[in-house]
Amino acid sequence: MSEKRKVGIIGGGAAGMMAAITAARQGAEVTILERNDRLGKKILATGNGKCNFTNRVMDKYCYDSEDLEKAWSVLQAFSVTETVSFFESLGMLSKEKNGYFYPACEQASVLLDALRFTIDDLGIRVLYERKVSGIKRDGKIIKVLCGEEAFGFDKVIVTCGGKAAPKTGSDGSGIKLARQLGQAVIPSYPALVQLRCEEDYCKAIAGIRCDAEITLISGGVPLVVERGELQLTDYGISGIPIFQLSGIACRELAKDSSLRAEIDFLPDWSDKDWRRFGEKRLKHMSQRRVEEFCNGILNKKLMQLFIKLSGLKGDKIVSQVSREKVETLFYLCKHFVLHVNGSNGYEQAQVSGGGVDLRELSENLESLKVPGVYFAGEVVDVYGRCGGYNLQWAWSSGYVTGLHAAK
Ligand SMILES: Cc1cc2nc3c(=O)[nH]c(=O)nc-3n(C[C@H](O)[C@H](O)[C@H](O)COP(=O)(O)OP(=O)(O)OC[C@H]3O[C@@H](n4cnc5c(N)ncnc54)[C@H](O)[C@@H]3O)c2cc1C
């Protein structure tokens, strides 16, 4: 009788658990080495505790990587439909809201338990409080070092996560392991994170939430446009549209670029229509005080700031103030600029960009330098938009590596 293939999995997060289940189902003898005292700590925090675990709308441009084609082929190898069926087969009902999938009961712990119970059923060995510090090939065996202990496997899958939310266990040690093995690594940066801005007056408009379109501009060149519910905070800007463009912002900030966010608070109005609206308003309401003239356009706090920035005074009569200043006031409603000078960092980020360079991994995410070692999940240079895309990457890459490592 041939011996079972021994597969070691470093890190019991989303990708690690999926890789373990897949490899065990293929008949491999699987061991998970996890540094925490439990599996899947980060999953509990996902989707505000509701776990948005995938999304019906899937496109390669929902992701960012230096090798998008390879990432996309992995995502197609285990698609959204397969993800939903997989969790159904583990006994978990799911629900879809505008394309976003959640466990039907909206509890992340339910999805985690479905994975944990299956790991138990399959007899997968889980060793807790084992922080792996080294991996090396020793003849046919791959040795995994963990403090004083050493383990030997036929195949190893590194699923240690990236650098985001280090309190959950992912402190970038997977990237260190990859570097030790001689893998090329794309420098990491926080992504899906709030952005900090230079302007002191952010405090004056903190707390406002509104629909807006944000254009990120670096050295005068527009990089990306996002629309959605913007949140203004005392340190800068947050909300889904900011999360979506934050990875690009953080990558630019690392290059020391001058970065600004131009905010359009009236994205449904063209510049031309907005100018016409301004002219009409001036015709009919120029006997009002500036403050009254502004009432009803945007949030009061925002208009008060724009009055100040335009050099106007709220108690002056509109017909008696400079026309140029009134035009500036209208212009600010569609072109308000904040200078971005940082982010809230890995502590607050939902994911990290960068990581193990996909170009040095095979289609099955096996190292081209150290055959037998695979990488899956956030440790790899792939991250997605908000909306279930990052967990989908964890499921797809976990599945592909588990399947091939067990062969
Ligand atoms: C607050 C928050 C909300 C999120 N919400 C969503 C969401 O709703 N939808 C979505 O798609 N994505 C979401 N994400 C992102 C998503 O959770 C991650 O992309 C995904 O969990 C990454 O899975 P992973 O298995 O690669 O890494 P992780 O989940 O980070 O797991 C890595 C595991 O490896 C262990 N480990 C690390 N180093 C070692 C070592 N040296 N030795 C042994 N073990 C080690 C860690 O303890 C951890 O258990 C969210 C993230 C955060 C922080």
80 plus 204 within the same structural domain: no
256 pLDDT exceeds 90? no
Asked if 132 and 17 sit in the same domain, the reply is yes
pLDDT value, residue 3: 83
**Residue 389 counted as domain residue:** yes
Kindly report, residue by residue over 102-112, the tens digit of the pLDDT. Answer: 999 999 999 99
Q: Identify whether 24 is part of a domain.
A: yes
Q: Is 169 in the pocket of ligand 1 (CB under 6 A)?
A: yes
280 within a domain of the structure (yes/no)? yes
Same domain, 121 and 229: no
Q: Same domain, yes or no, for 131 and 261?
A: no
Those residues with Cβ within 8 angstroms of residue 72's Cβ, 6 or more apart along the chain or in another chain: 60, 63
CATH of the domain at 24: 3.50.50.60
Dist. CA 386 → ligand 1 center (Å): 14
- DSSP secondary structure string for all residues of 18-32: HHHHHHHHTT-EEEE
Give per-residue pLDDT as tens, 143-200.
Answer: 999 999 999 999 999 999 999 999 999 999 999 999 999 999 999 999 999 999 999 9
CB of 8 closer than 6 angstroms to any ligand 1 atom: no
- Last residue of one domain, picked from the residues 313, 343, 373: 343
**Is 144 part of any domain?**
yes
| Residue of minimum CA distance from atom 51 in ligand 1 | 350
Question: What are the pLDDT digits (tens) for 93-143?
Answer: 999 999 999 999 999 999 999 999 999 999 999 999 999 999 999 999 999
Question: Is residue 69 domain-shared with residue 185, that is, in the same domain?
Answer: yes
Same domain, 51 and 179: yes
pLDDT of residue 333: 98
The answer to whether residues 297 and 389 belong to one domain is no
Residue 1 forms part of a structural domain: no
CB of 377 closer than 6 angstroms to any ligand 1 atom: yes
Domain range for 323: 194-343
What is the token pair recorded at 78? 């285990």
Per-residue confidence band for 22, with pLDDT thresholds at 50, 70 and 90 = very high
Which of 293, 321, 343 is the last residue in one of the domains?
A: 343
Task: Give the pLDDT of residue 263.
Answer: 98
Q: Are residue 46 and residue 168 in the same domain, yes or no?
A: yes
Angle between helices 14-25 and 108-121 (to 10 degrees): 30
Q: Which residues pair with 138 in a beta bridge?
A: 141
29 shares a domain with 177:
yes
Whether 134 is covered by a domain: the verdict is: yes
pLDDT surpasses 80 at 225: yes
Same domain, residue pair 175 and 80 = yes
State how many domains the chain has: 2
Q: Are residues 132 and 242 in the same domain?
A: no
Q: How many angstroms is it from 391 CA to the middle of ligand 1?
A: 8
**In a domain? residue 40:** yes
Residue 314 CA to residue 322 CA, distance in Å, equals 13
Q: Is the CB of 356 under 6 A from ligand 1?
A: no
- pLDDT of 2 above 70: no
* Of 327, 326, 328, nearest in space to 289 by CA: 326
Percent of the chain with pLDDT over 70: 100
pTM, 2 dp = 0.96
pLDDT of 293 > 90? The answer is yes
Coil/strand/helix, residue 293: helix
Residue with tokens 């629309």, as numbered in its chain: 227
User: Is the minimum distance from the CB of 131 to ligand 1 under 6 angstroms?
Assistant: yes
> Are 269 and 277 in contact, with CB atoms under 8 Å apart?
yes
Residue 288: predicted pLDDT:
96
Mutate which of 21, 37, 38, 42 for ligand 1? The one with the most ligand atoms within 8 Å of its CB, which is 42
Question: Are residues 238 and 331 both part of a single domain?
Answer: yes
